[in-house]
Amino acid sequence: MAVLVGKPAPSFTAKAVQGENIIDEFSLDQFLGKKYVVFFFYPKDFTFVCPTELHRFQEELSEFESRNVAVVGCSTDSEFSHWAWLNTPKNKGGIQGVQYPLVADINKTISSAYDVLAGDEYVNEEGEIAVDGELVAYRGLFLIDPEGIVRHQVVNDMPLGRSIRESLRVIDALQHFEEHGEVCPMDWQKGDNGMNATHEGVSSYLGNQ
């Protein structure tokens, strides 16, 4: 698994769906110099754990927007599958009401670039292309700053849903550091004191606990 933290986020242009609209050329580059991005991968449309995450991102969308963060989802499904899922009511297993973009990575190049693609493609003894496992994305999440640099990543296996609140906590920690120059200790929450990255600063922080 590649560690992308501290590196430029892989760039791409792909089809995406937002609301009722299919976007022919969607790119995260549109946010450079303007917004942070939470770019997350999920395995499949029309499944079980995935809609719980996508709906929760929508429920918390105003929290992300208040922090100047764009939320973008991605799976290896086509734009037509995304569109159909977005137009299926929640009580029928759909994600109707989700407003942020969903990228279609049908060629699996984006999942490969972010190194979250499960399964292995190889040439068998007969010279045929074969696949071990299923070529879908793990539950990867990447926090990208306005300069296009990955500042945080986490990857879960298929059965393990992620914590959207933890994503917000990490965003708050990064923005606290950028504003105050203070690092954030374990379980830091917005409004807590940070730490100066010096011996004196750490001693002062610990003395106040």
Which domains are seen in the chain, by residue range?
Answer: 14-161 (3.40.30.10), 163-209 (no CATH)
Task: List pLDDT tens digits, range 45-100.
Answer: 999 899 999 999 999 999 999 999 999 999 999 999 999 999 999 999 999 999 99
User: Can you tell me the mean pLDDT for 7-22?
Assistant: 97
9-29 mean pLDDT: 97
How far apart are alpha carbons 201 and 170 in whole angstroms?
A: 21
- How does strand 21-26 pair with strand 14-18? antiparallel
For 96-110, the pLDDT digits (tens) are 999 999 999 999 999
Beta bridge partners of 187: none
Q: Whole-model pTM?
A: 0.89
- Contacts of residue 76, defined as CB under 8 A and 6 or more positions apart, other chains included, come to 44, 105, 106, 108, 111, 117, 135, 136, 137
Of the candidates 4, 50, 102, 143, the residue annotated as catalytic is 50
Mean pLDDT of the 106-117 span: 96
* Closest to 100 (Cα-Cα) out of 112, 86, 90: 86
List the one residue out of 17, 26, 12, 43 whose CA is nearest residue 148. 12
| H-state helical runs in 18-78 | 49-59, 61-66
Helix (H) or strand (E) holding 171: helix 164-180
> Going along 13-92, which residue ranges are E strands?
14-18, 21-26, 36-41, 69-75
| Site of tokens 């986490």 | 154
Across-strand partners of 75? 104
Catalytic-residue membership of 50: yes
Say whether 82 sits in a helix, a strand or coil: helix
**133-174 tens-digit pLDDT:** 688 999 999 999 999 999 999 999 999 999 999 999 999 999
| pLDDT of the residue at 125 | 72
The 10s digit of each residue's pLDDT in 178-202 is 999 999 999 999 999 899 876 444 4
